[in-house]
Amino acid sequence: MSAPGPLEAQRQMVERLQDPARYPHPVTSVSVIETHISFVLLTGPFAYKIKKAVDLGFVDYTSPARRRFCCEEELRLNRRLAPDIYLGVAPIGGTWADPHWDGAEAIDFAVKMRQFDPADRLDAVLAQGRLRPGHVDALAAAIARFHASVPAAAPDTDHGRADIVWAQVAAVLDRLQALAAPAERPRVAALDAWCRAEHQRLRPKFDARKAAGFVRECHGDLHLGNIVRVDDTPVVFDCIEFDPALRWIDIVADLAFLVMDLAERGRPDFAWRVVNAWLEPLGDYGGLAVLRFYRVYRALVRAMVAALSGADADARRYLDHAADTTMPTPPRLLVTHGLAGSGKSTVARALAQALGAVQLRSDVERKRLHGLAPLTRSGSALDAGLYGDPETRATYARLTELATGALAAGYPVIIDAACLRRWQREGFRRLARARGIPCVIVDCQAPAAELERRVVSRSAGGADASEATLAVLAGQRRTAEPLDADERVMAVVVDTTRTEVDDLLARIQRLSEAHRPLPP
């Protein structure tokens, strides 16, 4: 009788390891989850992930040495984001028929992880209606910190080059065309044509972003199924370890998977909350130029995976989403107006989520121009330091520059700034006229006592970029230039003590349609 092959030997080992007595810690029962590339042994307190001895083309785990290396890589990579989940590499000793957990003459290896409830994965949390805005904000902040900390690809590497980006996209499109039912092939062909044209248009952008250091050692598989809620905080796990080319990518390509996943699952508001909460600390607004392309690519990847597994309905759903994503968003420019504490940022955030718009905050960009993080206090006196006239003019020029880029990338923009002087408002109105798009002023108002209460509360909390104080509010009241007659025609007044976003959106839409400028 011939000896069993590597995979058959592994199956024998896994069967034996379902005996609770073989573990060095208390175990009541052991269950096994098998995927196409792994066996996962669930013991209660810990999970042990064993690489399957398979060669699927895109991954080769056939040799014990390769499986050990990939276990070590999985540990290294995932400890960047989930150090409390990834505990170590556990050697398996003994024989295939009589395995045990020790380091003596290992026959195989497993990644030892802290076990968690699958109901706490964010795909399940979202499906159950338990994903909250606070979770989304914490997740975006964690991803932004991660992307800021990981190393950039060396200029002489292939990672992230325009031709490599296309090779990865083309491979998915070719596979989809081969897998597609006859009725779906025209749509795949149309998506192929769109991707080719967009890639050609964006080719200089891809190479420029590589040169600027935005191609980094990322996660590579950043969707909701690879994020778990631990102590009510989202934690990202299961980074791609088996192919460096799939994780050495543009940071926007990494983020795009999560954005696509949230939008496809029916929460485009959360998708755009993630985008803006990620952009704010990183300032990578230039990445908006490639975001749509990468979102389409990620939807195509999920369509391919679904098609490979025979889930034709899921494949069609992802193709639908890819096609929808290629459609441009109606361009528009919204500009907030109001005193400190009038609720401008709250209203801007709600509108950004509802419209799929980019939110540009003057408080954040003012500090970024001076090398300060959003929550860092500048110590500036009233109308001095960061808030002197030259600095304010530089801030508004920067907002105009960023808005120009975001509009060119095909996204609506919301300027989240006080805009209390006429010249500040006119700069944005001029930009809208030059592009032939609507510019609506969102005039945020609240009673005087409420303004003061909000300013005091926000300043004491220290969790917002604004440095406004009661003295700043008093100064604004003295120097603000009210909207003139032309501006009032294009303004919607918002009482931020009782804002209904749907009603506000309807008013903005009616105003935009009634006063749409002629193309330049």
DSSP-assigned letters across all residues of 94-117: E-SSSEESSSTT-SEEEEEEE---
Helix (H) / strand (E) containing 345: helix 344-355
Instruction: Kindly compute the dihedral angle of the four CA atoms of residues 430, 433, 439, 441, in this order, to the nearest 10 degrees.
Output: 30
| Mean pLDDT over each residue of the chain, to the nearest integer | 95
Structural domain for 23, as ranges? 6-115
The pLDDT value recorded for residue 3 is: 60
* 300 and 344 co-located in one domain: no
CB 374 within 8 A of CB 385: no
- Please list the residues that pair with 445 across neighbouring strands: 495
* 111 and 127 co-located in one domain: no
Rounded to whole angstroms, the Cα distance separating 263 from 258 reads 9
The pLDDT value recorded for residue 286 is: 98
Say if residue 156's pLDDT is above 60: yes
Domain final residue pick, 115, 148, 176: 115
pLDDT digit string, tens, across residues 429-473: 999 999 999 999 999 999 999 999 999 999 998 899 999 999 999
What CATH number is associated with residue 221?
3.90.1200.10
Residue 520 domain flag = no
Rounded to whole angstroms, the Cα distance separating 480 from 483 reads 9
Say if residue 401's pLDDT is above 70: yes
* 505 and 378 co-located in one domain: yes
Least confident span in 117-126, 135-144, 499-508: 499-508
CB 284 within 8 A of CB 368: no
What CATH number is associated with residue 13?
3.30.200
The pLDDT value recorded for residue 404 is: 98
Q: Which of 268, 258, 256 is nearest to 296 (CA)?
A: 256
The pLDDT value recorded for residue 311 is: 92
Say if residue 123's pLDDT is above 70: yes
pLDDT digit string, tens, across residues 287-334: 999 999 999 999 999 999 999 888 999 999 999 999 999 998 889 999
Say if residue 409's pLDDT is above 80: yes
Instruction: Kindly report the number of other CB atoms within 10 A of residue 96's CB atom.
Output: 20
DSSP E strand boundaries for 119-214: none
Residue 151 domain flag = yes
Q: Rounded mean pLDDT of 143-158?
A: 97
Residue 519 domain flag = no
Residue 101 domain flag = yes
Into how many domains does the chain fold? 3
Rounded to whole angstroms, the Cα distance separating 245 from 293 reads 18
Domain final residue pick, 304, 326, 348: 326
Angular region, 379: left φ>0, alpha ψ -120 to 50, beta rest:
left
Where does residue 421 rank: exposed (0-12), middle (13-18), buried (19+ CB within 10 A)? middle
Sheet holding 86-94, edge to edge: 31-34, 38-42, 46-51, 108-114, 86-94, 99-100
Q: Rounded mean pLDDT of 385-400?
A: 97
* 98 and 237 co-located in one domain: no
* 129 and 211 co-located in one domain: yes
Which residue type does 22 have?
R
Global pTM value: 0.94
The pLDDT value recorded for residue 1 is: 44
What CATH number is associated with residue 482?
3.40.50.300
Domain final residue pick, 277, 306, 326: 326
* 356 and 434 co-located in one domain: yes
